[in-house]
A = this chain, B = another copy of it.
Amino acid sequence: MGTTVIKDIKIVEVSPRDGLQNEKEIIPFDKKKSFIEKLMETGVDEIEVGSFVSPKWVPQMQDTDKLFFSILPKDGIKFSALVPNMKGLERVMELPPQHRPKKLAVFTASSDTFNLKNINCTVEESFDRIRPVVEFAKREGFEVRAYISVAFWCPYEGKIPPEKTLYVCEKLIEMGVDEISLGDTIGRASPKDVYDLLSLLLKKIKPNMVALHFHNTYGMALLNSFIAFRDFGITTFDSSAGGLGGCPFAPGAAGNVATEDLVFMFENSGVKTGVDWKKIMEAVSILGIPLRSVISKVLGKG
């Protein structure tokens, strides 16, 4: 007797991974578990629960295996996890099948400089790391998402030529990736940059294979999301509850667009998300980390 929720767009809630991995504080396991359980009640479609990365690199993600072992997704919710390499994939496979995330995410970038600083390999070299993960994951029946960081602008190389990002997308799709998440990692994209990239990309790639991952650093995330939805028919948007994660490039500035801000804008524009933005804020309050969303400031909770 479930009710069908009609949605125009899909929200991928990235706070437990992309958000918390950029927070200084390490959240205790029980709190993080409660947070994810609460997020499941907000109406989001997907939750990126964690990352099967080495705890030495990212101590915030050390409990990812335990989280997947302890929580099963509710009906209608998809869990995903970041898998940087084959070693990470082995950890996924060690979980009982019903506890494995349905979707795995690999990552690279549109700029060599960024990739070298971030994962110590060029973009081309990253394909060699990613390929076996994607092939294995697809064989085992996982959906696979690929993140492309700095898809619009790079903090080191400036504006990324759209052709470069298209090239990276095509290589990833050749490997078998189902979905590409285009990251505006420094929140620098303008509507023009969104036009430049999407008008090129969508000549080759279907809009339902593309997710957008905007940061609100320059205050343009809502604008870019609206444009991407209305003018290009993109319907998958990544966001982080409470704007968790901040901006690693400019402390104090906004990072990931806050889920509650994105939902508020879309819902007030007549675009159905199925998400309750107040519940998103309640979920974050479990963590005890200050909310960084615009709405939280309006409500005196920021």
Residues on A facing B (Cβ under 8 Å): 190-193, 216-220, 222-223, 226-227, 247, 250-254, 261, 264-265, 268-270, 294-295, 297-300, 302
The residues of B that contact A251 with a CB separation of less than 8 Å are 300
**Are B269's CB and A192's CB within 8 A?**
yes
B254 near A294: Cβ-Cβ < 8 Å: yes
Cα A294 to Cα B220 with chains together (Å): 10
Contact partner of A250 (CB less than 8 A), chosen from B250, B270, B298, is B298
Contacting A297 at CB < 8 Å: which of B220, B254, B294? B254
Interface pairs (24), CB distance under 8 Å: A190-B268, A190-B269, A191-B269, A192-B268, A193-B268, A216-B294, A217-B294, A218-B265, A218-B294, A218-B298, A219-B219, A219-B222, A219-B261, A219-B265, A219-B295, A220-B222, A220-B265, A222-B222, A223-B265, A226-B227, A250-B297, A250-B299, A250-B300, A253-B302
Q: Complex: how many Å from CA A192 to CA B222?
A: 13
Instruction: Report how far A220 CA is from B295 CA in the complex, Å.
Output: 11
A193–B300 Cα gap in the complex (Å)? 24
Asked if A264 and B298 make an inter-chain contact with CB atoms under 8 angstroms apart, the answer reads: no
What's the least CB distance linking A153 to chain B, in Å?
A: 10
Provided the pairs A269-B191, A269-B192, A300-B250 are in contact, do residues A294 and B219 lie with their beta carbons within 8 angstroms?
yes
CB-defined contacts of A253 to chain B, threshold 8 Å: 294, 297-298, 302
Beyond A220-B265, A223-B223, A250-B300, 10 additional contacts (C-beta under 8 Å) are A190-B265, A190-B269, A217-B298, A218-B265, A219-B222, A219-B294, A222-B222, A222-B223, A253-B298, A254-B294
Q: Are B265 and A226 in contact (CB under 8 A)?
A: no
**Bound Cα distance A216, B251 (Å):** 21
Residue of B219, B252, B268, B270 touching A216 (CB-CB under 8 A):
B219
In the assembled complex, the CB of A225 is this many whole angstroms from the nearest CB of chain B, namely 9
Complex Cα gap A220–B221 (Å): 10
